[in-house]
Amino acid sequence: MNKEYYVTLTGGKNNAGDFLIKYRAFNLFKELRPDRDIIDFNEWEEIDDKRLNIVNNAKALILLGGPGILPSMYPTIYKLRDNLDDIKVPIIMMGLGWKDPQGDWKNTYNIDFDKTTILLLDRIKRDGFLSSVRDYHTLNTLQINGYKNTLMTGCPAYYDRNYIDNDIDIDKIEKIAFSLGVSFVDSISMEKQMKVIILKLKEQYLNKSLEVVFHHSLDIEEIKKVYGSQHLHHVKRHLEFTKWLGENNIKYIDISGNADNLINYYSNIDLHIGYRVHAHIFMNSISKFSILLNEDGRGKGVKGVIGGIVIDAYDSFKLDFISKVLNKLLNSFDRYIDNKYIVSELFNNIKYEEQIKYNRIKSSRKSIDMNFNVMKTFIKQLP
């Protein structure tokens, strides 16, 4: 290569949001670090000797985006090497996130990193550069465990230079997108909730365009190709949902597979409502109206970063041992206790935001702009 470079490890397989993360991150590098090229590898693949040579000739190895801050972060998420000392360049995290099914602030205290993950986090700390995380929940999890070498930059997907420091411009609402969550796959109550909201949206926006959006592929062969057989139940449940949509004359679209599908689709939407965090992040990044319905801790993390309109779709998620066992034994056992008030809460929020002329959307825009300054600090200090 003509320029010195970074090696990034990213997680894009099929989910459109994962591709958005690295698309936006690579654009940030082009703008803020034009002195560096990028070589990207899949995070789930091992760094063999050939790749190790590429890594060790880079300026840094960057673990980029996604829910990587987990008890078994290494080697479950990041294969890396059996001996981390084989990697001679600094290892740095960028935009990584903590993930928890309950997702409350108190849960940030409870993560128990295993021995190999501690080895990795200690190594990152020892390398001496600041890392970045996507929300304050993740920041607190690391700081509680003694890792204070981190900035809260937000997810790279928040940042489109064309919109930074610009005012929002929301006019009429003609096109509505509903992003389907994944909790319904194993939860009867969450499936019912999603269907009730979709039908209510159809009723409320009778003369408008309404479409349900799938961020994962609806093609079984495509899912098998990228995930193997472990996600077949997942896609079959999604296909059952499309059948229900057809029976109720509701349009749907699959935007999986790359960032362009997500960007091109949501750029033409006036209002997004739904469970997909990166649909919400993208809409806020281009100063559009979006309401996120939380189905796990990732959404709660977003609310702490940019505020805006984020509604908990569930009251609690059963984490006790008996519930875990029953969930494996009984298809009908539901670990979610859903929010019974979500429909009225959702439509009250839509009307109220229109009444106050999108004040919370403006606030989110300002938060993104301010966090961009922290992201710039992080990227400019990279080796």
DSSP 156-190: GGG--TTTTTPPP------EEEEE--SGGGG-HHH
For the record, the structure tokens of 224 come out as: 């098998």
CATH number of the domain encompassing residue 31: 3.40.50
Least confident of 83-92, 282-291, 317-326: 317-326
**Quick one: 224 and 211 in the same domain?**
yes
**Quick one: 13 and 156 in the same domain?**
yes
**Quick one: 97 and 202 in the same domain?**
no
**Quick one: 119 and 195 in the same domain?**
no
Asked if residue 15 lies in contact with residue 223, where contact means CB atoms within 8 angstroms, the answer is no
**Quick one: 154 and 268 in the same domain?**
no
d(CA 352, CA 359): 10
In a domain, 169, yes or no: no
Question: Sheet holding 150-152: strands in order across?
Answer: 36-42, 4-10, 60-69, 91-98, 131-133, 150-152
Higher pLDDT, 239 or 329: 239
pLDDT at 233: 85
pLDDT at 319: 76
**Quick one: 361 and 373 in the same domain?**
no
d(CA 63, CA 11): 9
- CA-CA-CA-CA torsion sign (273, 278, 281, 286): negative
Asked if residue 298 lies in contact with residue 97, where contact means CB atoms within 8 angstroms, the answer is yes
195-to-202, 214, 272, 274 alpha-carbon distances in Å: 11, 14, 16, 12
pLDDT at 119: 97
Least confident of 99-103, 157-161, 306-310: 99-103
For the chain, the domain total comes to 2
In a domain, 22, yes or no: yes
Nearest to 185 by CA among 241, 146, 144, 132: 241
In a domain, 319, yes or no: yes
pLDDT at 334 over 90: no
**Quick one: 108 and 206 in the same domain?**
no
**Quick one: 46 and 17 in the same domain?**
yes
**Quick one: 35 and 137 in the same domain?**
yes
**Quick one: 283 and 146 in the same domain?**
no
In a domain, 48, yes or no: yes
d(CA 313, CA 9): 32
Domain range for 313 is 175-366
pLDDT at 1 over 60: no
Contacts 24+ apart (CB under 8 A), 316-325: 316/102, 317/101, 317/102, 319/101, 319/102
Helix (H/G/I), strand (E/B), else coil: 290: strand
**Quick one: 202 and 140 in the same domain?**
no
**What is the pLDDT averaged over residues 323-343?**
83
Phi-psi region of 146 (alpha: psi -120 to 50; beta: other; left: phi over 0): left
pTM above 0.85, yes or no: yes
| Type of residue numbered 248 | N
In the chain, pLDDT over 70 holds for what percent of residues? 99
pLDDT at 54: 97
In a domain, 91, yes or no: yes
In a domain, 186, yes or no: yes
In a domain, 167, yes or no: no
Bridge partners of 64, per DSSP, are 94
Asked if residue 311 lies in contact with residue 294, where contact means CB atoms within 8 angstroms, the answer is yes
In a domain, 344, yes or no: yes
**Quick one: 137 and 209 in the same domain?**
no
